[in-house]
Chain A
Amino acid sequence: MQLILDEDQTMLAQTAGAFFNEHSPISRFRALRDGDDSRRYSLELYRQMAELGWTAIPFSEADGGLGLGLASMIVVTEAAGRTLAPEPLLESVMMAGQALSLAGNAAQKERWLTPLIAGESVLALAHSEPASRYDLSRIELQASADGDGYRLQGRKLHVLGGAQADAFVVAARSAGQAGEREGISLFIVPADAAGVKVQAQGRVDSRNAAILELESVRVDGDALLGELGAGHGVLETAIDRATVALCGEMLGGMNAAFEMTLDYLKERKQFDTVIGTFQALKHRAARMFIELELARSVAMAAARALDAENGHADPQARSLVSLAKAKLSEAYCLIANEAVQMHGGIGMTDEHDIGFYMKRARASEMTFGDAAFHRDRFASLGGY
């Protein structure tokens, strides 16, 4: 495992950085937040990203992807995270797309994954429920056999990218009860199926999310993704991959917030001098820098460890994912808090952009497990 960018990744970082600066500066995030389209991103810009190949990066060549892995994907999500670009790379590519790639059969991949990779359709993964917090086995939404198909009944929350998605990958319970790993099944549900109700969720970080209600929704047998009752492993792997992609996004966000703050320390004057001369602030800035450097190392390591997995879960790789998510969650929140504090009163205003990062930091922390959740998982994987 080499913890440096290779030549292609270095070029990708430059291309992606320039792309988001040009097409999605933070002012665009603000405009989308203030607009009234619940999508909160642009399909047209997303398709431009697909044309650049970014939506194909983490998929194998057999799936019609580029086979470049998470090591390259986090280069793109980092650049997106810097300007809070809202296109659904995480939601469609890294969540729903990974589940399809892991468990889909040839027909399902042709029907759903190919257009997803092309950026022509957007899918969302619906796994969170009111009682599930971060536990992927606490699934209650019911799936019952209905002739040669299934009937789905229940409610999902925090369906990232769910508002105006074309279809959903829904985690449902086909046997057993909440908290058991066995008996969880994944289904593909088109957004226009009878009984599907999608309601946009308003989140503090303005990320596209939805409440999904399935009222006796009938799907055919070919909507079942993978084996009946064996969806938990798929879900866990997909979420682990998405977690690493999110870590890339968080890394970009915390770097942007840190740089904005450093700039401010170098220009804001009080007591007839720039406030960056004050040791009380210098030392805290240096502490943030230390956390940033550690965060970059663990995010890169987790991406490379998952890329090296050979079709089955490697506990060492998974513990690096938990290491990354725990460290990134703490570092992003620390840096965002300090960034607002160091900006002073202006940092509390809606007019200033720095507050966006504080909101995103917290929302990212609460996505796929916070630091405490991942410390617990790290310890369990380590046998203590």
Chain B
Amino acid sequence: MSDLESFRTELRTFLENETPKEIRGQLGPDAAYWGGRNPELHHPEAKRYCEIMASRGLTAPTWPKEYGGGGLSREEAKVLDQELGRLRLPPPLTGFGLQMIGPTLLQFGTEEQKQEHIPPIVRGEIRWCQGYSEPNAGSDLASVQAGAVIDGDEITLNGQKIWTSYGDKSDWMFALTRTDSQVKKQMGITFLLLDMDQPGVEARPIKLISGASPFCETFFENAKAHTRNIINGLGGGWTVAKALLGHERNMIGNVFGGGAPRGDKGGPPKNPLAELARQYLGEADGRLSDPSIRDRVTAVSMDHRAFLLTMQRNADNLKAGHRPGPESSIFKIYGTELNQRREELMLSIRGPQAVGWETPGFSQEELDQTRAWLRSRGNTIEGGTSEIQLNIIAKRVLELPD
């Protein structure tokens, strides 16, 4: 038996015997476990499942073992995905610790910083939020003003952040702070980690057009942090900020590159948009009855397929040991715009049933999709607007002059 196969066998036994059976099938994004000091439990076994997986580092499978990660190779991580899929087990943990600050710390953190912060991320004990945007620093992120003053090893922070995703539910923040306003604006930024559980920090949820409040305004009034939690040195924050944005954009791009529909038993793959259109508009002669909707369904489906194939080409390129090709710069902008077209098409398909805000008269699915459409409008704003993405492609890939 190959090493990989014995790894699979052992892993399978562990997953079958040690993880709670009740958690199987809890797969939707709404069921995800984000961890933290006061975790939200969408399922009573979510925390225990996370801890069991974390005991083997399987919440962060490819991170180094010395910081609590699983230490798995790329191939082993693939086996883990397959085995989780086989038992319909959800990913044990999600969040910005795993997806954003963890990878960034592995790249830029000192040994002490990694030892202090990475193991609690792996164990799901600390939930992180991102303190980047400010009211006057959105697309022009390097204009952040939240001021940090250093006295000995104590840092005092004053100012405001905005669009802090889940700021009210998070334990720690990674923040871009202004430590020098006399130099070029990119040079005076310090990347800082701070504990949210203190009197000088207040996170207030913002109600969005979708009715949900996933974002906060976060206010600092003499908030305290420690100099040991400066990443990449005083004034070295912009480099870290950009690297982390890269992780963030990959994450956003990946969200919209979800699996292609597969056919049952060799038949044509079921197209979820076509199924929806069939349900609302019916068929004539084996075709969707509305030719204009049919054409839009086809165009969006084709572009989705083209997007997935481009992600695959990028992955194949990396697997072959090549550097990331220029194609990777298109994922954030294309994935988010495609998702918006998809949501708008679904509105068109549902027609008057797409305009519901609450029951009665609308199904839960209809109400959810209306809000998902509203939410999708933010996809091309957050994590770098589409316009900023186009600037980046023009500058870095096409080398057009400033």
Contact = CB atoms under 8 A, between A and B. Distances in A.
Q: Do A and B come from one complex?
A: yes
Interface of A: 2-4, 262, 265-266, 274, 276-277, 279, 282-283, 285-287, 289-290, 293-294, 296-298, 300-301, 315-316, 323, 326-327, 372, 375-376, 378-384
Contacts of B326: 289, 293
B317 A285 contact: no
A101 B101 CA distance: 58
A200 B319 CA distance: 50
B269 A265 contact: no
A323 to B, nearest CB: 5
A177 B326 CA distance: 51
B353 to A, nearest CB: 20
Contacts of A286: 389-391, 393-394, 397-398
Given A4-B317, A282-B394, A381-B268, A290 B333 contact: yes
Contact of B298 (A283, A294, A379): A379
Contacts, number: 126
A3 B303 CA distance: 17
Interface in B293-318: 294-295, 297-299, 301-303, 305-307, 309-310, 312-313, 316-317
B274 interface: yes
A289 B298 contact: no
B3 interface: no
A138 B390 CA distance: 45
A285 B398 contact: yes
Given A289-B397, A323-B302, A294 B294 contact: no
B1 interface: no
Interface of B: 267-269, 271, 274, 277-278, 286-288, 294-295, 297-299, 301-303, 305-307, 309-310, 312-313, 316-317, 320, 322, 326-327, 330, 333-334, 387, 389-391, 393-394, 397-402
A292 to B, nearest CB: 9
Contact of A375 (B267, B278, B302, B305): B302
Contacts of B397: 286, 289
A384 B295 contact: no
Contacts of B391: 279, 282-283, 286
| Residue with the greatest number of chain B CB neighbours at <10 A, chosen from A277, A301, A316 | A301
Could you tell me the dominant secondary structure of chain A's interface residues?
helix
A326 B269 CA distance: 19
A358 B301 CA distance: 27
Contact of A379 (B287, B305, B313): B287
- By Cβ-Cβ distance, the 5 closest A-B pairs, closest first, are A282-B394, A3-B313, A384-B274, A286-B393, A297-B309
B248 to A, nearest CB: 19
A194 B65 CA distance: 81
Could you tell me the dominant secondary structure of chain B's interface residues?
helix
A4 B333 contact: no
Contacts of B316: 2-4
B274 A296 contact: no
A378 B310 CA distance: 19
A282 B310 contact: no
Contact of A262 (B294, B312, B400): B400
Contacts of A283: 387, 390-391, 394
B268 A4 contact: no
Given A315-B268, A375-B299, A384-B294, A297 B310 contact: yes
Nearest to A278: B400
B330 A327 contact: no
Contacts of A294: 303, 306-307, 309-310, 330, 334
A156 to B, nearest CB: 31
Given A294-B303, A294-B310, 11 more contacts: A277-B400, A282-B398, A283-B391, A286-B391, A290-B333, A298-B305, A300-B313, A375-B302, A379-B274, A382-B271, A383-B271
Contacts of A372: 295
6 contacts: A286-B393, A289-B393, A298-B306, A375-B302, A383-B268, A384-B288
Contacts of A298: 305-306, 309
B306 A4 contact: no
A196 B147 CA distance: 86
A264 to B, nearest CB: 11
A323 B306 contact: yes
A382 B269 contact: yes
Contacts of B295: 372, 375-376, 379
Nearest to A300: B313
Nearest to A294: B306
A296 B271 CA distance: 24
Contact of A277 (B298, B303, B307, B402): B402
A380 B287 contact: yes
Given A289-B330, A382-B301, A384-B277, A296 B313 contact: yes
Contact of A285 (B267, B299, B334, B400): B400
Nearest to A262: B398
Contacts of B313: 3-4, 296-297, 300
Nearest to A379: B298
Contacts of B288: 379, 384
B259 to A, nearest CB: 15
Nearest to A281: B400
A277 B320 CA distance: 36
B74 to A, nearest CB: 16
B287 A384 contact: yes
Contacts of B305: 298, 323
Contact of A3 (B297, B309, B393, B401): B309
A297 B312 contact: yes
Contacts of A327: 302-303, 306
Nearest to A4: B316
A248 B307 CA distance: 19
B400 A266 contact: yes
Given A283-B390, A283-B394, A4 B320 contact: yes
A287 B390 contact: yes
A315 B391 CA distance: 40
A294 B400 CA distance: 21
A375 B334 contact: no
A143 to B, nearest CB: 31
A315 B268 CA distance: 8
A276 B399 CA distance: 9
B400 A378 contact: no
Contacts of A2: 316
B309 A301 contact: yes
A379 B394 contact: no
Contact of B271 (A265, A289, A301, A384): A384
B302 A274 contact: no
Nearest to B313: A3
Contacts of A315: 268
A290 B302 contact: no
A233 B15 CA distance: 50
A276 B394 CA distance: 9
Contacts of A262: 398, 400
A296 B274 CA distance: 26
